[in-house]
C-alpha cells in the first residue's frame, strides 16, 4: 500500500503532465493561452459592415492606388550638402525640420538638408526647387532613387525668380513623369502630392486643389514670379521639389512651399504650375540659364478704389506704375497710368497673372495688350526684350532717417483729417533728394487712416493728384475739395529716389 505522501505526489505529477500538455497544445496551434477556453478558441472581429462596396467608391480608391504606383518611381529624394565656411547660406524651408528655422551653422560645420525631385527625361534630368539645391557644394547634391540606388548629381541651372532648378544624374532608361497642362487645373479637383517629407521617403498624400493663381510673396526681388497652385494635400519640409499630380497621374505642379506658423503642415501647400516648369526646364537644359522675355514695366493690381479713381466701372486689369527706359513697353508706346486689361485676349486682373503669362515667352516674341487709357481702350503690340536689353528697374533704397533743414517760411503744413494725412511744401534739398521738381511732402500719416490703409507713410512726396502737378498744399486741397465723399482720387507718389507710383485714395463719406 502506498503511503499518503507518495499518493499525493503522484496525483500532483499527473495534473502537471496534463496541464503541460494543454499548454503545449495551445502554443503549438498558435492560440494565445489567455484566450483559450477548454479546447476551443475565441473568434476576434466580425464580418465586414459593408459587404458590397459601391462601384464609385471602389473606383476612386483604385484610381488613387494606380496613380500612386505609377508616379512614385518618378519622384526622387535629394540630399544637399553645403560646407558652410562662412558662406552665410540661409536655411531653405525644407531644411527647417533638420536644423530648426533659426539655426545658424558654425563656419566650420557643414549644412545638410533634404528635398525631392521629379524625373523629367530618361537620361537623368531632374526638376526640383531652387531652394533645395541653392548653395550646395560642387559635389554636394545626391539623389536617392525610389529603389534606394544613390547617384551624385550635377547642377545644370537654377531660376530663382520661379524657385525652380534642374539637376542631372549619369544614368539612362529612367521612369519619366508625365507632365500635364496646368492651365486646365480647376479648384476642387482631386490631387496627390508625392515626395519625401521629414525624410519619410516615397510618401503620398491626397487632397484637392483649393485655389489657383496664388501670390504669397515668398520669392524675393522685383522679378519674382508667383502663380502658385494651392492644395490641402499634406506637404511638409522635404516635399519641396516633388510632384503634385492629378487623377490621370500627370504632374500639374512642383510642390514648393507651405503656409505655416511652425514650419510644419497646417493645411495649405503651394506648387509651381507645371507649364512654367516646362519652359524653365527646357531653357536650363538647353543653355544653363532661362532666356525670358520682359515687357519692361512695373505693375500693380487694380482694386475698386483705384478703379474709381481711373474711371473704370469695375476693378479690372493691372496699372502700369513705371515704364522702364528702353524696355519693350516703352518701345511699344506704353505709359505710366495705363491699365493692362488683357494679354493675347486673356484677362489679367492680377499682377502675377500677367507676369506668369509673359514668363512663358522669350525675347522676340510678340504679345498684344489691351490697354485702358483716358477712358478709351486701345491695343498695343509689344515685342518682348531680354532683361539684359532693358534697363534694370531701380532697387528700393533704405531710408536714411535724416531730415533736411526746413526754412521757416516753407513750414505751411496742411492737414486733411478725413484722410489722416498732413503735408507741407517741399524744400530745395528735398527736391534734390527725391529727384522731383514739384510736390508736397507727407509729414504725418495717422495709423489706420485711409492714407495708412493705402500704403502711404511719412516722408512720401505727392507729386500729382488727378494727374495734375502739385506745387503746394493748397493745390492738393483744391483738388480734394472738388470731390465729394465716396469719390476716389488718383495720386502719384514718390518715396526716396524710387520711381513714382500711383496710389488711389478714397475720400470718406
Residues annotated catalytic, as ranges? 131, 163, 240
Q: Which residue has the cell 519693350?
A: 328
Q: Per the structure block, which three cell numbers stand in for 405? A: 533743414
SS (H, E, C) 123-192: CCEEEEEHHHHCCCCCCCEEEECCCCCEEEEEEEEEECCCCEEEEEECCCCCCCCEECCHHHCCCCCEEE
Alpha helices in 335-410 (DSSP H): 351-359
The grid coordinates listed for 456 are 502711404
- Longest distance between any two alpha carbons in the chain, whole Å: 138
Q: Which residue has the cell 558662406?
A: 87
Region for 15 from its dihedrals, namely left if φ exceeds 0, alpha if ψ lies in -120 to 50, beta otherwise: alpha
Picking from 319, 12, 290, the residue whose alpha carbon sits closest to that of residue 165 is 290
On whether the CB atoms of residues 162 and 280 are closer than 8 A, the answer is yes
Cα 350 from Cα 360, distance rounded (Å): 17
Paired strand residues for 319: 300, 339
Give the burial class of 431: count Cβ atoms within 10 A of its Cβ; 0-12 exposed, 13-18 middle, 19 or more buried: middle
Amino acid at each position: 500500500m502506498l503511503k499518503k505522501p507518495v499518493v499525493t505526489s503522484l496525483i500532483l505529477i499527473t495534473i502537471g503532465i496534463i496541464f503541460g500538455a494543454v499548454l503545449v497544445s495551445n502554443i503549438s496551434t498558435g492560440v494565445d493561452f489567455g484566450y483559450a477556453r477548454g479546447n476551443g478558441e475565441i473568434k476576434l472581429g466580425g464580418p465586414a459592415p459593408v459587404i458590397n462596396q459601391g462601384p464609385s467608391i471602389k473606383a476612386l480608391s483604385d484610381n488613387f492606388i494606380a496613380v500612386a504606383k505609377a508616379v512614385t518611381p518618378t519622384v526622387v529624394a535629394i540630399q544637399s550638402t553645403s560646407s558652410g565656411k562662412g558662406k552665410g547660406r540661409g536655411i531653405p524651408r525644407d531644411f527647417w525640420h533638420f536644423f530648426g528655422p533659426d539655426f545658424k551653422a558654425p563656419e566650420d560645420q557643414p549644412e545638410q538638408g533634404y528635398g525631392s525631385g521629379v524625373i523629367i527625361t530618361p537620361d537623368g534630368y531632374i526638376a526640383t526647387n531652387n531652394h533645395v539645391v541653392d548653395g550646395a557644394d560642387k559635389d554636394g547634391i545626391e539623389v536617392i532613387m525610389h529603389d534606394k540606388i544613390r547617384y551624385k548629381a550635377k547642377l545644370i541651372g537654377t531660376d530663382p525668380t520661379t524657385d525652380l532648378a534642374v539637376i542631372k544624374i549619369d544614368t539612362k532608361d529612367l521612369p519619366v513623369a508625365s507632365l500635364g497642362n496646368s492651365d486646365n487645373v480647376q479648384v476642387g479637383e482631386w490631387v496627390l502630392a508625392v515626395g519625401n517629407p521629414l525624410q519619410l521617403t516615397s510618401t503620398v498624400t491626397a487632397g484637392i486643389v483649393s485655389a489657383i493663381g496664388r501670390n504669397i510673396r515668398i520669392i524675393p526681388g522685383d522679378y519674382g514670379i508667383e502663380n502658385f497652385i494651392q492644395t490641402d494635400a499634406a506637404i511638409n519640409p522635404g516635399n519641396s521639389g516633388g510632384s503634385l499630380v492629378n487623377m490621370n497621374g500627370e504632374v500639374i505642379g512642383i510642390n514648393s512651399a507651405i503656409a505655416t506658423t511652425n514650419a510644419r503642415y497646417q493645411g495649405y501647400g503651394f506648387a509651381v504650375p507645371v507649364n512654367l516648369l516646362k519652359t524653365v526646364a527646357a531653357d536650363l537644359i538647353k543653355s544653363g540659364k532661362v532666356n525670358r522675355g520682359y515687357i519692361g514695366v512695373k505693375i500693380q493690381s487694380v482694386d475698386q478704389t483705384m478703379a474709381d479713381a481711373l474711371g473704370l466701372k469695375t476693378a479690372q486689369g493691372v496699372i502700369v506704375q513705371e515704364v522702364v527706359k528702353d524696355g519693350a513697353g516703352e518701345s511699344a508706346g506704353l505709359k505710366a497710368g495705363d491699365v493692362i486689361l488683357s494679354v493675347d485676349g486673356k484677362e489679367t486682373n492680377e499682377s502675377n497673372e500677367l507676369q506668369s503669362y509673359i514668363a512663358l515667352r522669350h525675347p522676340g516674341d510678340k504679345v498684344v495688350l489691351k490697354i485702358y487709357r483716358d477712358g478709351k481702350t486701345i491695343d498695343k503690340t509689344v515685342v518682348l526684350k531680354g532683361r539684359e536689353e532693358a534697363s534694370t528697374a531701380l532697387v528700393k533704397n533704405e531710408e536714411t532717417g535724416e531730415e533736411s533743414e526746413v526754412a521757416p517760411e516753407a513750414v505751411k503744413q496742411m492737414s486733411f483729417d478725413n484722410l489722416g494725412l498732413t503735408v507741407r511744401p517741399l524744400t530745395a534739398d528735398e527736391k534734390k533728394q527725391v529727384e522731383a521738381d514739384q510736390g508736397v511732402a507727407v509729414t504725418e500719416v495717422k495709423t489706420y487712416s485711409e492714407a495708412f490703409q493705402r500704403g502711404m507713410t511719412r516722408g512720401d512726396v505727392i507729386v500729382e493728384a488727378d494727374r495734375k502737378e502739385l506745387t503746394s498744399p493748397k493745390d492738393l486741397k483744391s483738388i480734394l475739395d472738388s470731390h465729394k465723399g465716396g469719390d476716389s482720387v488718383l495720386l502719384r507718389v514718390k518715396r526716396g529716389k524710387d520711381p513714382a507710383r500711383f496710389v488711389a485714395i478714397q475720400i470718406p463719406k
